[in-house]
Structure formats: C-alpha cells, structure tokens
Structure 1
Amino acid sequence: MEEEFEELKSQNSFDIKALAFRALNYWYLFVITLGIAFVATYFYNKQLERIYRVESLISIKEEQNPFFSSSMNLTFNWGGASDKVETIKTILKSRGHNENVVRVLESYIHYKKQGEYRLEDIHTNAPFIVSLDENHPQILNTPIKIVFTGDQKYTTTIDFTNAESFSSINYKLNKAVGIIPKEEVFSDDFVIDEEAATDYYKFALTPRRNTNIEVGKEYFVVFTSLNSEISKYRAIAVNLKVQGASMLVLSLTGPNRAILADYLNVTSEILKEKQLEEKNQFATNTLAFIDKMITGVEDSLRKDELKLKKYKQDNKVFNPSLKGEEVFAKLNKYSIEKNDYMLKLQYYKLLEDYLINSTDFRSLPAPASSGIEDANIVNNVSKIVGLSIKRAKLGETVKNDVFFKEIDQDIQSTKSVLLESVKSARSSIDIDISNVNTRTARANAEFRKLPEEEQQLFNIERSYKLSEASYTLLLEKKNEAGIVKAANVSDVKVIDSAKDLGQGSIMPNTQKNYSVALFLGLLIPMAFVFLVTILDNNINTPDDIKNLSNIPILGIVSRSRAETNLAVFENPKSSVAESFRGIRSSLQYIYKNIDKNKTKTVMVTSSVSGEGKTFCSINVASVLSLTGKKTILVGLDLRKPKIFGDFGITNEFGTVNYLIGQKTLDEVIQPTKYENLDIITSGPIPPNPSELLISQQLDEFIGELKQRYDYIILDTPPVGLVADALDLIDHVDATIYMIRQDYTKKAMLNIINDKYKKGEVKNISLVFNDYRQKAKYGYGYGYGYGYGYGYGSYGNGYHEDEQKTVLSRLKSLFRKNKN
C-alpha cells in the first residue's frame, strides 16, 4: 500500500525544472508579450492627463497689537492660536469660503486649446479674457470654439451633435436650467470688446495684455457650474507642517499648475482679509457706538456754546466774582463726575438689554468706550464677543447642532457672569450718583446766594463745560479705537506662496504602469507555459519515466540525423549508433544467465504506433550483427509492415506466408547487403493476424529460427492497441518497450506497468527514443531523430500512415525507381 502511495505521489509531482526549461524554450513569447506590454503602456501613459500637486505654506498666530497697552482700555484681542488652527482648517474646506474664491477667480470660466488627446486648460496663456454677463444664462460644459478671423473679429461655434442634453446657468442666482438647441451647429461672428449675446451665452471678449492674437488659431471656452468648481476645490488638503506647530500646508492637485497656484494664493489672501476683518469687529462696533454718542454731544455742545456767547453779550457779564468762581468749579466738577457715572450707567443698561434680549453678541462695543475699567466686565465682554464670532463662523460650515453645544454653554455661562457683574456695577454707580447729588445740592445752596445774572451765567457755562468734557472724552476713546484698529494685523500670514515651478506630475504613475506592464508581460506567457505544462500528458524526460514506472531504462536514443532508419550502418560514429551499442551492452547483461551458445531473442514493442519500434528493431539487429553473430530481424507487425523499405527488399512474401503454409522458412528469409543480417518481412496483411501469432506454426517458426541464428529480433505490434505482442512474450528472452519523447502519453504505460507488476512480463526494459538536448525540457544529448520512413499502409490497420515531409517522400520515390 505504501509503495502504491509513493508511486501515485511521484506521478502527480510537478517538475519545476521542466517548467523553467520549457519557459526558456518559449523565450520569444516573453519577448513579444513584453514588447507589446511596454509599447501599449507607453501610449497609455502618453495619452493620460498629467496631474500635478502645488503647495503653499501659511502660519496661524495670535498677533498682539503693537499699540495695545494697559493705558489703552479697549480690549478686543481674543481666542488662541491652537483654537484658530482647527477653525481655519474648517474654513478653508467650507463651501462659503471656496465659493468666494471661485467667484473672485471666475474659475468656472475655462480657457482651452486642442491638445494631442484632449482639450487642455491654458488659463492665462489664452490671448483674451471673457467678461460674463452673470445675469444671462451661459451654456454649461459645452466647448465654445473661438477662431479669430481678423485683428478685431472672431467667430464662435458650438457643436450640439455629440450630446443628447444641454443646460445653462445663471451665475448670479447659481441656478441651472435645461435648454434645447435650435440647430446642430451654431455659429456667429462678433467684434472684440463688444458684447456677444446669443441664446446660449452673453459675454464680451477683450484681448489680454502683452499677448498676440493669432488669426485662424482655434481656442475654446467652457463654462462649468459653481457647484462643481466649489466641490472640486473643497478637496483642498490642509495639513499641519509639523505636529503641534501653527503652520499649515495647503495643497491642491489638478492638471494645470498655474490654476492651482492662483487658487491657493487667492484662498490665502481672502482668508487673511477675513481674519483681519473679524479681528477688527470689536473695534468697529466700538467706533460705531462712539460715533453715535458723539453726534448727540456735538449738538448739545454747539447749542451751549451759542447760548453762552449770547448771554454774555446781552448781559455784559464777563468777570464773575471770586466766590462765584469757587462755587462754579465745585458744581462743574460734580457735574462732570455725575456725567461719567451716567455714561457708564447708560452702557450698563445697553449691555443688560442686549444680553437679555439678543442671541448674537458680535455687535457689542468695548466697555472702555464708556470709561468702564472693571477688568471682570471688560474681559467677559471680550470673551462673549469672541465666542459669538466663532459660533457664527462655525455656522457657515457645520449644520449639526451637536457642534454648537459646547460654544452655547460657554456663551450662556459668560452671559450669566456678565449680568451679575452689571447688576453689581449698577448698584455701585447708583450709590456714587447719590453721593454726587448730595454734594451738588450743598454747592447749589451756596450757588443760589450769588447774584441772578451770575447764577444764569454759571448754569449756561456749566452746561457747556459738561458737553465739552463729554465730547473730549469721546474723541479720546475714538482715537484709541482707531489707532488700535489701524495697527491690527491678520493672524494669518503667508510664508510660502504657491508658484508654478514646473513641478513634475504625480499622476499617472508611469513607473508603476511600466511595472504592471512588466508583470503582465511575464505573467501571460508564463501562464501559457504553465498551462501547456499542466496539460502536457506526454513523457518528456527520463525523470518522467522514473516517476511513472518501475521498469528499468535500458537505454536512451537521441534523434537521428540519418536519412533512413539505418542509423548504425550509415552513421556508425554518431551518437545514435553509440546509443545502440550501449543497448547491446545492456542486453548482454540481461542474457548473462542464458547459455552463451543458445539463441537470444529480443522483442521490440511499444504503446502505440510512431514510437520507434521499427527504428529500434532495425538498429538493434544492426548493432548485434556487427558483433559477427548471425542475426535475423523478423517483422511480426502483421497489420502494418515496415522493415522492408530501408533495406530495399520486397514485402510480397514473409512471415504470414510461412504461418499459413504457403512458403518454407528458406523462401521467406531475405538476405541483406550487410554481413550477418537477414530479414523476414511481415508479408501481405492477413485477415486474422492475432490468430496467426498464437498458432502452432509460430512456435515452429521461432524454433527453426533459433536453430539457425544467434540473435532473433522481433518487430511486434504496439501493446496499447492490440494484444498480439503480449502473446509473443513467452517466445523471447528480453523485451524492449519503446517510449518516444514528447509523443508517448503518460497513461500509455499503465498497461505494461500492470503486466510488469503482476509478473506477466519479465526481462522487460524501456528505451527512451527521440531524445533531445537543450529542448524545452532541459535534458538530452543534442541530436535529432529522423524517424518516419515506412512503406505501404494497413488497410485494416490501427493508425493512419505517419506524415512525411516532402523531401522524405521524394527520396523514397527515388530509391524505389532506382531499385
């Protein structure tokens, strides 16, 4: 059982070495497929659109105002760098921001020219600029061909034949609608700098500076939708330059480096301006609040000034008494003090109303605009304004309420703290105002003792001084706010602007494509070779024989270059002749247990026709005859006679005639021109070859031959097709079983293996025929095999005649005519 398993395992093993040599034999397939793969990849890479990557570098840093100090009570620097980095990353990928950039650049207008494989975007290299009427529908995604017919004239053409549906867009409303062309090809003529208005577009075309317009050259303009452009550029990559640092690398990929560079630079500039605008929001609110208050104070000051001047002129009162000056100074001081408190109280009331009734606190003015220096209120107002701005900015890009929860909580808690602080501050101011009122009342008692004219003068002058002081304070605060706003710088700084430096493309990956071509160029022929190897059921190497059978190999015969089957006689020094000498030696080893004086018989058979039985029979007989021993070659392949052709003898009579009693042995034996070698051909084809080979006459036939010859070589039929050869085994001392390289099927050995295993055949050996060196199997001696001669046909045979080359047929005919 174990032996059977080992035999089956050996039969099913895969010969890697044979596969490798077979692959080398098909080297031309590898060259062809690799050539096709590389050529195809070259053209494939050539026609693919090149994709480039362009980058820019910006920094995000909270820039402190150089004019801000503790003496300036306005505070509107808020937020932090780390928070801003994440916020700005979100802004750069937001729809709102990218829509602004797209509209500024008008990147939905594409200038193109015909390239080798496609329309290519030429951007600012176009010699003209298209100025759209954005209120008029413009045809979408359809090339408008522009050809200049003169210095001031051009023709536009739209081909509608290659698409089924069309649409146009109103860029002002960002609304697209379907259109139905009225003709297959639309064409019209226009003049440069004049508006070109049609049902499909409306724009003016103006020459670009420092460019020359070539008459007759074709250009194309393509309008794309806002949404598609925004979606394309929202794919901008925003990454930290170094982890933990507030520097961002912005990168875009696309087919035109100049367009990418322009977009990155504009997106950075718009971001920079937007950040500065938001940073100045607090100062802008404060300035607006102060301007509103100044307007009212200016009116009061102007009226008080006119009233004071008129009163002095009418009453001739110019030099008040010393007592009056003293009382006036007190009243003026108390009035200014109370006015300051009232200004603060007014701000607190405004702030309280705003906090209670509003949800957006971006418009709150700075507390310092009303002279409030309470650090708690100042910081919290700044904080709640910053949170409101942050929330509004987040609202442009995020629609999920979950993201606002934390900010809303911070705003609510800051609002609660502010309301408590305002309540406390208002109570404190009320006390301060009450104290000022008490002191003012005492000063007024003294004031009423003064003369009537002097009292009226002091009242008018006091009102004027109060308005003047308020006006001066407001101007001071306005100047502070203006200085701080003017000195503000954006927290976004461009470190490296994007540039078209002729960067190499990132796509297509030509090296990868060539690697794939190499892989496929090797894989396809290798798969073919592997498939051929797997499907190859032929016996190709001696190792195949060893794996398939336990029958010993008697010898290996290489391919003969002789023109006939007489390889030993015609080329005695050839390797084929040496191969048969080796077989002769091996046969002597088999015959060692047989009496030297006794006749030795050899039977040559195979699985099927065409494996070289006749070739081997002839040359084994030839090599044995050269030893000086009387040798006879007997043709027992009664269905397909062959051995007569090479010796120039006839097949009109032979073994069949003897077996049926028509001829005697002497009459069927035909001598050859070679010493010690006689031939008995098969003779005419009988109707009952099998019965003849098992008849009593065959026994007598072999017996008589043994009395006359030292060696008898029997050329028998194939055992795989008929059972005739098996019936002859009892008459022979040794059996040669032929296997032909790349011809004999592996399964064909099953019959003889079974017989050998059961002990039904003895002294059987295998001869490997037609063996070649440097062949697709990697083994052999480097010689050919000229097998293929034979005359006549079977009629009722088991195979068609083997095909002959034209040359071999001509030579055969020549020999026949000669004989």
Structure 2
Amino acid sequence: MEAEFDELKSQNSFDIKALAFRALNYWYLFVITLGIAFVVTYFYNKQLERIYRIESLISIKEEQNPFFSSSMNLTFNWGGASDKVETIKTILKSRAHNENVVRMLQSYIHYKKDGYYRLEDIHTDAPFVVSLDENFPQLFNTPIKIVFSDEQNFTASVEFLEDEIYRGINYKLNKVSSFSPKSPTFSGDYVMNQEVETPFFKFSLTPRRDTNIKIGQPYYVYFTSLNDEISKYRSIGVSLKVQGASMLVLSLTGPNRAILADYLNMTTEILKQKQLEEKNQFATNTLQFIDEMISGVEDSLRKDEQKLKEYKQDNKVFNPSLKGEEVFSKLNQYSIEKNGYMLKLQYYKLLEDYLTNSTDFRSLPAPASSGIDDPNIVNNVSKIVSLSIQRAKLGETVKNDIFFKEIDQDIEATKRVLLENVKTARSSTNIDIENVESRTARANAEFRKLPEEEQQLFNIERSYKLSEASYTLLLEKKNEAGIVKAANVSDVKVIDSAKDLGQGSILPNTRKNYSIALFLGLLLPLGFVFLVTVLDNNINTPEDIKKLSNIPILGIVSRSRTESNLTVFESPKSSVAESFRGIRSSLQYMYKNLDKDKTKTVMVTSSVSGEGKTFCSINVASVFSLTGKKTILVGLDLRKPKIFGDFGIDNDTGVVNYLIGQKELDEVIQSTKYDNLDVVTSGPIPPNPSELLISQKLDEFITELKKRYEYIILDTPPLGLVSDALDLINHVDATIYMVRQDYSKKAMLNIINEKYKKGEVKNISFVFNDYRQKAKYGYGYGYGYGYGYGYGSYGNGYHENENQSLLSRLKRAFKRNKH
C-alpha cells in the first residue's frame, strides 16, 4: 500500500525544473509581454498627475518674557498646566485655522493653462491676478477661459454642458446657489483693471508684476468651493521631528510645489500671530482695565485737588497744627501698614488657590512681590518652582510616567508643607491686622479732638493723597503691562520655512509601477506556460516515464535526420545509430539468463500508431545483423504493414500468406542487400488479423524461424489499439515498448503498467523515441536508465555532423509520421 502511495505521489508531483525550462523555451512571450507592460506603464506614468511633498519645520516652546520681574503684578506671569505641542497639532488641523489660511491666500482661486494631458495649475506664473467680489455668487468647478488679444483686452468664455446644473458660491457667506445656463456657451470681451460682471462671475483682472502676457494663449480661471479647499488642507501632516522634542514637521502633498509652500508658510504665520495674540490677551485686557480705572481716578483726583484748594482759600487754613500733623501722620502710617497686610492676605489666598487647583507650579508669583519675607514660604515656593521646572525639562525628552514618580512625590510633599505655611502665616497676619486696627481706632479718637475746620482739611487732603497714590500706582502698572506686552514673543518659531526647491514627485511611484509591470510581464506568460504544462498530457522527458511507470527505460533514441528508417546503415556514426547499439547491449544483458545458443526474440510494440515501432524494429534488427548474427525482421502488424518500403522490397507475399497456408516459409522470407538481415513482411491485409496471430500456424512460424536465425525481431501492432501484441508476448524473450516524445500520452501507459504489475508481461522495457534536447524540458542526454547503460550525445569528433539545413529539416518533417 505504501509503495502504491509513493508511486501515486511521484506521478502527481509537479516538475518545477521542467516548468522553468519550458518557460525558457517561450522566451519570446516574456519579451513581448514585458515590452507591452513597460510601454503601457511608461505612458501611464506619463499621463498621471505629478504629486509633490513640501515640508516646513517649526519649534514650539513657551518663551519666558525677558522683562518679567518679581516686583511686577502677579497676573503677568500667571501660568498653569498645558500641553503646548499637542494643542498646536490640533489647531493646525482644525477647520477654523485652515479656513483663515484659505481665506487669506484665496486658495479657492486657481490659475491654469493647457497641459499635455490636463489643465495644469500655474499659480503665480499666471500673468494676471483675479480680484473677486466675494459677495457675488461665483461659478465654481467650471473653467473660465481667458484669452488676451493684446496687453489690455481679453475675452472671457465658458462652455456649459447641456442639461447640467451649475452652482455659484458666495465666498463671504460660504453659501452655494444653483442655476441653469440659458445658452451652451458664454463669451464676452473685457478690459484689464475693469470689473467684469456677468450672470456667472464678477471679478477684475490686474497685471501681475514681473510676468508677461502671451497673446492668444488660453488661460483658465477655476474656482473651487471653500469647503473643498478647507477639507483638502486639513489633511496637512503634523508630526514630531524627534519623539519627545517640541519640534513639528508640517507637510503637504499636491500637484503644485509653489502652492504647497505658500500654504505652509501662511499657516505658520497665522499660527504665530494667533499664539502671540493669545499670549498678550491678558496684558491687553489689563491695559484696557487700567485705562478705564485711570479715567475714573483722574476725575476723582481733579475733584479732590479742586476741593482741597477751594477749602483752603475759603477757610484761610493753610498750616494745620502740630498736633493735627502728628495724628494725620499716624493715620496714614496705619493705613499703609494695614494695606500691606491686606496685600499679604491676598497673596496667601491666591497662592492657596493656585496650589489647590493647578498642577504646574513653574510660574508661581514670587512672595517678595507682596512684601512677604517669611523664610519658610520663600524657601518652599522657590523649591516647588525648581522642582516643576525640572519636571518640565524631563517631560521634553521622556514620556514614561515612571520617570516622574519620584519628582512628583517631592512636589506633592512640598505643596503640603507650603499649604501649612500659608495657613500659619494667614493666622499671624490676621493678628497683625487686628493690632493695626486697634491703633487706628485710638488715633481716630485723638483726631476727633481736633478743631472742626482742621478735621475737614485733613479728610479732604487725605482723600486727595489716596487718589494721587492710586493714580500713580495705576500708571506704574500700565507701564509694566505695556513693557510685558511689547516684550512678548510667539511660542511658535520657524526653523525651516517651506520652499519650492524643485523637489521630485512622490507620485506616481514610477519605480513601483515599473515593478508591477515587471511582475505582470513575467506573471502572464509564466501563467500561460504553467497552464500549458499542467494541461500538457504528452510524455515529454524520460523523467515523465519514470514518474508514470516502474518499467525501466532501455534506451533513448534521438530524432533521426536520415531520409529512410535505415539510420544504422545510412548514418552509422550518428547519435541515433549509437543509441541503437546501446539498446542492443542492453538486450544482451536481458538475454544473459538464456541459453547462449538459443535464438533470441524481441517484440517491438507501442500504445498507438506513429510512436516509432517500425523505425525501432528496423534499426534493432540492423544492429544485430552488423554483429554477424543471422537476424530476421518480421512484420506482424497485419493491419498497417510498413517495413517493406525501406528495404526496397514488395509486400505482395508475407506472413499472412504463410499463416493461411498459401506459401511456405522460404517463399515469404525475403533477403535484403545487407548481410545477415532477412525480412518477412506482413503481406496482404487479412480480414481476421487477430485470429491469424493466435493460430497454431504462428507457433509453427516462430518455431521454424528459431531454427534458422539467431535473432528474431517482431514488429507488432499497437498494444493500446488492439490486443494482438498481447498474444505475441508468449513467443518472445524481451519486449520493447515505444514511447515517443511530445506524441505519446501519459494515460497510454496505464494498460502496460497494469499488465506489468500483474506479471502478465516480463522483460519489458521502454525505448524513448524521437528525443530532442529541448530547452523547454530542461533535460539532455546522459540518463542512466534500464540496466545500467547511459545514452547521451558524443563529441563531434566521434559522431557524424548531424546539422542539416532548414530545407532538409522541413523535408524531414513531412516524413516524421513514419516513426
């Protein structure tokens, strides 16, 4: 069972080597398909629109204002937790930002000219600039043709498709409307620098500096929708230059490098301006608030100044008493002292809120800005700011939370201590405020003892001084805010702006397309060769025979170039003649167990007609006769007699005449011109060939021949067509089964294989006939088959030169059917 399985596996296995050599034989198909594939790919690449990639590089870093100091107002350095890089990446892809860029560049206006395959965008190479009325519904997604007749005059025209609905867009409102043209064409003559107003568009053309108008050349103005442009540019690529760094690579792809570069530079510029505006927003709001406050304080200050002046003049009071001056000085001192404590309480409250609600403490206000000199608070604020800065720097290079664990624990511990410090300091400050209020109450009691006129004077003067101090403070803070705003710089910095440097296209990927062409150019003919190989049911190589049968191969006979079947006699030095000598030697090996003096018989058969039985029979008989042995060739293919023609004898009398009793043996044996070789032809075609071959007369015929000859060669009918040859097997010592290259079918071997497995035939061998050393099969001579003999081509010094002219080969092709 296992042997049968191995045999079946061997027969069904696919011969990769044979496929490879067969593919080489069809080399011209590969050349043709590759040529077509490359030509098609060339024109395909040619007509595809070129797509380019432009990049720019920016850095994102929160720049500290160089004019900030601890004495400035707390809010100017107020900070908080932020992720600047991620925020910028989101902004760059947002609709609002890209709409601003599109509107700024008017990216929805396209300037085009005729290209070889399509309209090509020429951008700033256009000799004119379109100035749109953005409140007018402009025709979009339809080219408007512009042709100049001279430097100033031009014709604008539009070709409309029949039954097509067209749309116009109001860019101001981003509103789309529809209309149907009344005529398939529109055309009008207009003048440069004058507004063109039509039912479909409204704009004016102005000359572009440093460009020349080409008279008669068509230019095209092409409007697209605002939404389409925004969607197109929202695909902007934004990626980190280096992981963990605050540098971003901005990239865009499109058919025009100059447009891409302009867009990237504009998007960066608008981003910078927006970031600076946001950074200055608090300072701007503060300046506006201070201006409003100054306006009110100025009025109060003027009124208090006028009131103080009028009171002194009316009451003739210019020099208050020493007692009054002393009390007034105390009250002013207590007020200043109380204000200082209130400022500290305000700082404590702000610090507590900041520590409770924020996570980034880099911008904590300095305690000294509020007059706080508590060493615990000052040291801990300094420590938590330092830790926050250290953490921020670490965050620029690493993203793993495990690296922040220790530093976050230190920040949290410092924050808890600082909150306790604030609680303690707030209690102490409230006690100080109570003491100041107590002293202020006593001074007010003394103040009320002063004369009425003097009290009123001190109250008016006190109000004036407070207004003056507030006015001075507001001017100081306004000056500080102005300095901070003027010194602020954007957190966005351009490192490498986008430029059109003639970068090569990224699409079409010509290398990839040619690789696909190469793949298809090889795959299609290879697939064809594979199908041919799979569907090929012919026996093409000796290896096929080995896979299909366990019957050994006796020899391999190459294609004969002689005019007749008498190759051994006519071309004794040819490889064909040498092959038959090898077959003769192998047959001798098969006969080694027979009596040396006994007549040796060999039968030549095949599956069907045309596989070379007669050719092999004649030449096997020929090689035996050349050894000086009495040899006879018998034609037992009673249905299709053949062997007589090559020897120049007739077929009038033969085996049939003997078997039916018309002739004696001597009368049917015909001599040839070659020594030791006689022939018995088949004779007239009988109506009952099968019955004749199983008759008693055939046994007598073979017996009589064995008495006269040393070798008997039987040319028999095809085994696959009739059963005659099977009946003759019992009369022979060896059987040669012919298989012809590119002719014999694989299924034809099933009958003889079955007989061989059952033991019904013995001493049977294959002869592989008409073998050509073709590249498509990948096999040459040199196989060691059968009984140990190898058959191959020999050097030109041994064999005759078998190269023939093309004409000779054509002649031979017409006679191929004989073997």
Give the shorter-chain TM-score range: 0.7 to 0.9
Q: Does 1:547 align with 2:547?
A: yes
Task: Report how far residue 615 of structure 1 moved.
Answer: 0.7
Task: Report how far residue 750 of structure 1 moved.
Answer: 1.7
Separation (CA, whole Å) in 2 of partners of 1:373 and 1:101: 48
Q: Does 1:50 align with 2:43?
A: no
Q: Which of the residues 441, 448, 452 maps onto 2:451?
A: 448
Separation (CA, whole Å) in 2 of partners of 1:460 and 1:747: 130
**Range 764-773 or range 547-556, more displaced:** 547-556
Asked if 2 retains the 8 angstrom alpha-carbon contact of 1:656 and 1:683, the reply is: yes
Asked if 1 retains the 8 angstrom alpha-carbon contact of 2:77 and 2:365, the reply is: no
Task: Report how far residue 555 of structure 1 moved.
Answer: 1.7
The C-alpha deviation readout for 1:127-184, integer Å capped at 9, x for no partner, is 2212221111122322222222221122233333399543222211122233323333
Asked if 1 retains the 8 angstrom alpha-carbon contact of 2:447 and 2:455, the reply is: no
Name the CA shift for 1:770/1:811 in 2 (closer, same or farther; >3 Å).
Answer: closer
Asked if 2 retains the 8 angstrom alpha-carbon contact of 1:327 and 1:447, the reply is: no
Match of 1:410 in 2: none
Name the CA shift for 1:56/1:469 in 2 (closer, same or farther; >3 Å).
Answer: same
Name the CA shift for 1:463/1:5 in 2 (closer, same or farther; >3 Å).
Answer: closer
Task: Report how far residue 50 of structure 1 moved.
Answer: 2.6
The amino acid of 1:737's aligned partner reads Y
Separation (CA, whole Å) in 2 of partners of 1:170 and 1:726: 98
Match of 2:648 in 1: 648
Match of 1:27 in 2: 27
Q: After the TM superposition, which residues 180-259 of structure 1 pair with which residues of structure 2 at under 5 Å, given as runs?
A: 180-259=180-259
SS of match in other structure, 2:65: coil
Separation (CA, whole Å) in 2 of partners of 1:184 and 1:634: 94
Match of 1:157 in 2: 157
SS of match in other structure, 2:75: coil
Separation (CA, whole Å) in 1 of partners of 2:23 and 2:113: 49
SS of match in other structure, 1:592: helix
RMSD of aligned alpha carbons: 4.3
The C-alpha deviation readout for 1:463-507, integer Å capped at 9, x for no partner, is 555544433332222222212211222222222222222223333
SS of match in other structure, 1:177: strand
**Range 28-37 or range 61-70, more displaced:** 28-37
The C-alpha deviation readout for 1:564-620, integer Å capped at 9, x for no partner, is 212112111111111112222222233334445443332110011111001111111
**Range 701-710 or range 171-180, more displaced:** 701-710
**Range 466-475 or range 273-282, more displaced:** 466-475
Name the CA shift for 1:55/1:574 in 2 (closer, same or farther; >3 Å).
Answer: same
Q: Which of the residues 805, 808, 811 maps onto 1:807?
A: 811
Task: Report how far residue 203 of structure 1 moved.
Answer: 1.7
**Range 432-441 or range 236-245, more displaced:** 432-441
Separation (CA, whole Å) in 1 of partners of 2:460 and 2:79: 48
Q: After the TM superposition, which residues 466-485 of structure 1 pair with which residues of structure 2 at under 5 Å, given as runs?
A: 466-485=466-485
Asked if 2 retains the 8 angstrom alpha-carbon contact of 1:332 and 1:466, the reply is: no
Asked if 2 retains the 8 angstrom alpha-carbon contact of 1:53 and 1:257, the reply is: yes
Separation (CA, whole Å) in 1 of partners of 2:427 and 2:133: 59
Task: Report how far residue 752 of structure 1 moved.
Answer: 1.3
Name the CA shift for 1:312/1:3 in 2 (closer, same or farther; >3 Å).
Answer: closer
Separation (CA, whole Å) in 1 of partners of 2:120 and 2:707: 99
SS of match in other structure, 2:245: coil
Match of 1:779 in 2: 780
Asked if 2 retains the 8 angstrom alpha-carbon contact of 1:328 and 1:458, the reply is: no
Asked if 2 retains the 8 angstrom alpha-carbon contact of 1:168 and 1:178, the reply is: yes
The amino acid of 1:779's aligned partner reads G
Q: After the TM superposition, which residues 400-479 of structure 1 pair with which residues of structure 2 at under 5 Å, given as runs?
A: 438=441, 441-442=444-445, 445=448, 448=451, 464-479=464-479
Task: Report how far residue 667 of structure 1 moved.
Answer: 4.1
Separation (CA, whole Å) in 1 of partners of 2:86 and 2:432: 42
Task: Report how far residue 275 of structure 1 moved.
Answer: 1.4
The amino acid of 1:189's aligned partner reads D
Structure 2 alignment gaps of length 5 or more: 351-363, 382-422, 782-791, 800-807
Separation (CA, whole Å) in 2 of partners of 1:269 and 1:542: 79
Match of 2:657 in 1: 657
Match of 1:578 in 2: 578
Task: Report how far residue 806 of structure 1 moved.
Answer: 7.1
Asked if 2 retains the 8 angstrom alpha-carbon contact of 1:606 and 1:737, the reply is: yes
Asked if 2 retains the 8 angstrom alpha-carbon contact of 1:21 and 1:776, the reply is: yes
Match of 1:611 in 2: 611
Asked if 2 retains the 8 angstrom alpha-carbon contact of 1:53 and 1:252, the reply is: yes
Match of 1:713 in 2: 713
Name the CA shift for 1:478/1:594 in 2 (closer, same or farther; >3 Å).
Answer: closer
Separation (CA, whole Å) in 1 of partners of 2:530 and 2:162: 47
**Range 63-72 or range 44-53, more displaced:** 44-53
Task: Report how far residue 694 of structure 1 moved.
Answer: 1.9
Name the CA shift for 1:344/1:556 in 2 (closer, same or farther; >3 Å).
Answer: closer
Task: Report how far residue 63 of structure 1 moved.
Answer: 1.6
Name the CA shift for 1:447/1:734 in 2 (closer, same or farther; >3 Å).
Answer: same
Name the CA shift for 1:465/1:331 in 2 (closer, same or farther; >3 Å).
Answer: farther
Task: Report how far residue 249 of structure 1 moved.
Answer: 2.1
Task: Report how far residue 643 of structure 1 moved.
Answer: 1.8
Separation (CA, whole Å) in 2 of partners of 1:649 and 1:460: 161
Match of 1:513 in 2: 513
Separation (CA, whole Å) in 1 of partners of 2:683 and 2:809: 26
Asked if 1 retains the 8 angstrom alpha-carbon contact of 2:78 and 2:365, the reply is: no
Q: After the TM superposition, which residues 374-393 of structure 1 pair with which residues of structure 2 at under 5 Å, given as runs?
A: none
Separation (CA, whole Å) in 2 of partners of 1:187 and 1:556: 85
**Range 437-446 or range 693-702, more displaced:** 437-446
Q: After the TM superposition, which residues 106-125 of structure 1 pair with which residues of structure 2 at under 5 Å, given as runs?
A: 106-125=106-125
Separation (CA, whole Å) in 2 of partners of 1:162 and 1:470: 77
Match of 1:68 in 2: 68
Separation (CA, whole Å) in 2 of partners of 1:744 and 1:474: 113
Separation (CA, whole Å) in 2 of partners of 1:810 and 1:463: 135
Q: Does 1:175 align with 2:175?
A: yes
Task: Report how far residue 215 of structure 1 moved.
Answer: 1.2
Separation (CA, whole Å) in 2 of partners of 1:425 and 1:296: 35
Task: Report how far residue 312 of structure 1 moved.
Answer: 7.0
Match of 2:397 in 1: none
Separation (CA, whole Å) in 2 of partners of 1:6 and 1:759: 20
Name the CA shift for 1:657/1:432 in 2 (closer, same or farther; >3 Å).
Answer: farther
Match of 1:694 in 2: 694
Name the CA shift for 1:190/1:654 in 2 (closer, same or farther; >3 Å).
Answer: farther
Task: Report how far residue 69 of structure 1 moved.
Answer: 0.9
Match of 2:325 in 1: 326
Task: Report how far residue 678 of structure 1 moved.
Answer: 3.0
Asked if 2 retains the 8 angstrom alpha-carbon contact of 1:148 and 1:214, the reply is: yes
Q: After the TM superposition, which residues 290-369 of structure 1 pair with which residues of structure 2 at under 5 Å, given as runs?
A: 290-305=290-305, 317=316, 320=319, 326=325, 330=329, 333=332
Match of 1:683 in 2: 683
Q: After the TM superposition, which residues 750-761 of structure 1 pair with which residues of structure 2 at under 5 Å, given as runs?
A: 750-761=750-761
Asked if 2 retains the 8 angstrom alpha-carbon contact of 1:62 and 1:81, the reply is: no
The amino acid of 2:811's aligned partner reads L
Match of 2:3 in 1: 3
Separation (CA, whole Å) in 1 of partners of 2:154 and 2:677: 103
The amino acid of 1:145's aligned partner reads K
SS of match in other structure, 1:76: helix
Name the CA shift for 1:592/1:482 in 2 (closer, same or farther; >3 Å).
Answer: closer
Match of 2:409 in 1: none
Q: After the TM superposition, which residues 762-773 of structure 1 pair with which residues of structure 2 at under 5 Å, given as runs?
A: 762-773=762-773
Q: Does 1:129 align with 2:133?
A: no
SS of match in other structure, 1:120: strand
Report the identity percentage: 75
Asked if 2 retains the 8 angstrom alpha-carbon contact of 1:22 and 1:529, the reply is: yes
Task: Report how far residue 769 of structure 1 moved.
Answer: 0.8
Name the CA shift for 1:443/1:143 in 2 (closer, same or farther; >3 Å).
Answer: farther
Match of 1:745 in 2: 745
Task: Report how far residue 462 of structure 1 moved.
Answer: 5.7
The C-alpha deviation readout for 1:515-541, integer Å capped at 9, x for no partner, is 333333333333333333333332222
Separation (CA, whole Å) in 2 of partners of 1:84 and 1:160: 50
Name the CA shift for 1:185/1:704 in 2 (closer, same or farther; >3 Å).
Answer: farther
The amino acid of 2:94's aligned partner reads S
SS of match in other structure, 2:532: helix
Separation (CA, whole Å) in 2 of partners of 1:811 and 1:526: 33
Asked if 2 retains the 8 angstrom alpha-carbon contact of 1:632 and 1:680, the reply is: yes
SS of match in other structure, 2:698: helix
